[in-house]
Amino acid sequence: MANELEQMVLRKAQAWLDGPYDEETKKQVKYLMDNDMKELVESFYKDLEFGTGGLRGIMGVGTNRMNVYTVGAATQGLSNYLKKNFAGEQIRVAVGHDSRNNSRMFAERVADIFASNGFTVYLFDALRPTPELSFAIRELKCHSGVVVTASHNPKEYNGYKAYWTDGAQVTPPHDTNIIAEVEKITDINMIQTGAHPENIHILGQDFDEIYLNRVHALSLSPECIKHHHDMKIIYTPLHGSGVRLVPASLRKFGFTNVKLVPEQAVVDGNFPTVESPNPEERKTMSMAIDLAAREGADLVLATDPDSDRIGVALRNKKGEYVLLNGNQTLVLLLSYQLTRWAELGKLDGKQYVVKTIVTSQMANAVAKFFNVKCYDCLTGFKYIAKIIRENEGKAQYIGGGEESFGYLAGDYVRDKDAVSACSMAAEAAAWAMDTMGLTLFEWLQQLYVKYGFYREGLVSVVRKGKEGAELIQKMMVDFRENPPKTILGSPVVRINDFKTLETLDVKSGVKTPIVQDSSNVLQWFTEDGTIVSVRPSGTEPKIKFYFGVKAPLRSVEEYDKVLAELDAKIEGIKKDLKLE
């Protein structure tokens, strides 16, 4: 079997040697054929596919790698699909990119292919936040758009997210239909390039101002900012695309004391100061937190390379900086927006918020308190955008997000937006201090007293390559056939299977349908209120386990004690499921 795979790979690699590929690519393919069969197999054993976030992969030669040819095939396939969908129309597209190595080159290739297909193309003049690309699609009335980014992945990765007319990432059936068109591109001569450069229009700082004005329109507490405009804020763009617009947005909101981490304000696709440019990790945030400690800052903010994810660290009573998880950031921003909307008399029963099924149930509790509908959707911001699309003209979206450090306030963008989230976090901090004399961290503790102390955990089991992908699929099959009967001694009473779209009541055996898109996700609910969710990542070689536990918090004084108990419970669940 292994030999058959190698033979197939060698045939595909030989086709690259014989085909109209550039000489440098051929040289690299030849080197792998002669010296590294394992890497050759990984590079050619399959074609890079659209997952939940479009294309994403390691950069290099081969059909399973990010390079100008795989990017070209994806773009030509997308172009062909757009021509079928919008026959007779002058198709308009927007193209953006982040700070990763080769991102500009890939973005220019994408723009060239779109232009060569006769489309009107809007290409940003340099790196920009992903949410601004989503905004551009809506603002410029485009049919589609592409951003070249691999979000917070390590430096060897790059990626390609495709967007639809509403500025959201493509959802079914468009995603599978695009894949079908991409698969028809069997020869690079089918990719149209080098024609109609006049179709490409460059977007610059004038367009940034339009976007920043829309972000600023979200502001709910300008007077509070006036009183606390000099609040010390440390911000790091982690070598990425937030470097200019996040500070510009904070200034527009009225904050005058924003300091960037100088070493990380350098745009660099090698991300030299971090192992991984992911604000979810404390190691990644350490340089910003150290600077904050030296400066006595009130708030630490970070964005990932394409500036759609936000990292937040807050100072506690002991002067230590606590790195919030994505659930805590979401709960704070949602609570702030809903509180202010209520105080300003803007809630009339027609508003709603959205979160994903693996995101903290505390968001549901907050929404219920304000009598605002909370939708639960599949993981991936495109599903949040889908709910916004379905409610257009019927109800008003306030905000929402997911546990993976993504939040969106307002609906003028249809992807997570760390530019606006950073500004809203800073405004919430100014408001909490102005109206209650509380830091944002102290207010979070008060929210736990009010709604219950919700605590979440996450374990990602990484299994790389072809074997890893097969092992992850087998784990999901085994969990379906043999789900746990108890978790940490508490009986499993309900199972949600988002693949079969059924909820099983374990005691009665009764199954009821789930009204949702299908996805390979399992959830187990126990008698004591614990929730465990399992899902393979759509963009990375890993399977994720999400844990949600809850306990009452009678007073802020008991915070540390209850936190320790909940964390111990999560560790116990990991051991019980043999994940530790």
Residue-wise pLDDT tens digits, 332-357: 999 999 999 999 999 999 999 999 99
- In this predicted structure, what is the pLDDT of residue 176? 83
Identify whether 276 is a catalytic site residue. Answer: no
CA distance 152 to 146: 17
- The residues that bridge with 254 in the sheet, in sequence order, are none
User: What are the φ and ψ backbone dihedral angles of 389, each rounded to 5 degrees?
Assistant: -60, -45
CA distance 451 to 463: 38
Cα dist. 389→4, 89, 165 in Å?
47, 22, 11
- How many CB atoms lie under 10 A from the CB of residue 317? 11
Does residue 155 contact residue 185 with C-beta atoms inside 8 Å? no
- 267 burial level (CB within 10 Å; 0-12, 13-18, 19+): middle
Burial 466-482 (b: 16+ CB within 10 A, else e): eeeeeebeeebeebeee
Query: What pLDDT digit, counting tens, does each position of 374-416 carry?
Result: 999 998 899 999 999 999 999 999 999 999 999 999 999 999 9
CA distance 573 to 360: 17
Per DSSP, the three-state class of 577 is coil
Weakly modelled stretches of the chain, pLDDT under 70? 1-2, 50-53, 538-540, 580
- For residue 299, give the amino acid letter: L
Write the DSSP assignment of 9-21 as a string of letters: HHHHHHHHHHSS-
State the catalytic residue, choosing from 151, 307, 519, 537: 151
- 285 burial level (CB within 10 Å; 0-12, 13-18, 19+): buried
- In this predicted structure, what is the pLDDT of residue 578? 85
- For residue 476, give the amino acid letter: M
Does residue 136 contact residue 203 with C-beta atoms inside 8 Å? yes
The enclosing H or E element of 214 equals helix 205-216
Does residue 352 contact residue 373 with C-beta atoms inside 8 Å? yes
Query: What pLDDT digit, counting tens, does each position of 52-105 carry?
Result: 557 889 999 999 999 999 999 999 999 999 999 999 999 999 999 999 999 999
CA distance 254 to 243: 18
- In this predicted structure, what is the pLDDT of residue 538? 63
- In this predicted structure, what is the pLDDT of residue 51? 59
User: What are the φ and ψ backbone dihedral angles of 325, each rounded to 5 degrees?
Assistant: -85, 170
Q: Which two tokens stand for residue 93?
A: 């597209």
